Amino acid sequence: MAKKTEQKTDPAVKAEEIEISESEEVTKKVIVWQATKPLTQKEHEHLSNKLRFEQQKTGVEIILMPYTCKLGDGEDV
C-alpha cells in the first residue's frame, strides 16, 4: 500500500509589516506573524523561541498573533 505523504505547512505566516512613528525622529518597524492553525503548547514555545531569536538578532519588534485573531486597525473595536 502506498504511504500518504503529508505536506508540512508553516505554523505561522507574515501577516503585516508596520512602521510606527514614536516621534518625528524615530520610526520603529514591527512585523506581525499570525499562526496558520491552532498551535500545541510545544509548537507555540518552539515558534516563540525562533521569533524571539530573530527579534534579538535584527532589532525589529516581532509579534506573534494567535490563529483566532484578525488583524485590524482598532477602529472596529
Q: What is the mean pLDDT of residues 35-40?
A: 88
How large is the average pLDDT for residues 60-69?
Answer: 83
* Per-residue model confidence (pLDDT) at position 53: 94
Burial of 33 (0-12, 13-18, 19+ CB in 10 A): buried
Reported pTM? 0.62
Q: Write the DSSP assignment of 50-67 as a string of letters.
A: HHHHHHHHH--EEEEE-T
Residue whose C-alpha cell reads 509579534 in the numeric block: 63
